[in-house]
Structure 1
C-alpha cells in the first residue's frame, strides 16, 4: 500500500490533502520502502507521519 488512493491521487500521509501539483516530498519509508508523500505544510511544521504499511513513525 502507498499514499496513493484508488483514483491515483497522491495524498499527504500526515494530513491527507492531495499533493498533486504542490511542493510535496516523496520518499521511501525507512523500514519497509513504501513510497510516502508529505505536503510542504506538514514538513515545515514537522508533523508526525505513520507509514500505512508497517506503522513506522517519523517526524
Structure 2
C-alpha cells in the first residue's frame, strides 16, 4: 500500500467535495475536538456545517 493509498480522503463537511489541493480550512470542532474541513466556497458563503462526530452545528 502506497502512502497515497493510506492518506485519509478529506472532504468539505458542508458540501462534500474533495478538498485536496484547494484553499480549504481545517479546524477542530468547538465541542468535541474532531477535525473538520471546509472548502473556500462554503466558508465564503457561510454555509452551515455539522460535526460528523458530535453533531455540533456551526456557521
- With the shorter chain as reference, the TM-score category is 0.7 to 0.9
Which structure 1 residue ranges, 5 or more long, are not aligned? 1-5
2:41 maps to what in 1? 41
Rg comparison, structure with higher value: 2
- Unaligned stretches of 5+ residues in structure 2: 1-5
Matches of residues 1-59 of structure 1 in structure 2 within 5 Å? 8-59=8-59
For the residues of structure 2 that align with 1:49 and 1:56, how far apart are their CA atoms?
8
- Measured in 2, the distance between the counterparts of 1:28 and 1:41 equals 19
RCO comparison, higher one (Cα < 8 Å, 6+): 1
- Alpha-carbon RMSD across the aligned residues, in angstroms, is 1.3
* Cα displacement (A) at 1:7: 6.3
Q: Give runs of ≥4 in structure 1 deviating > 6 Å.
A: none
**Alignment match, 1:3:** none
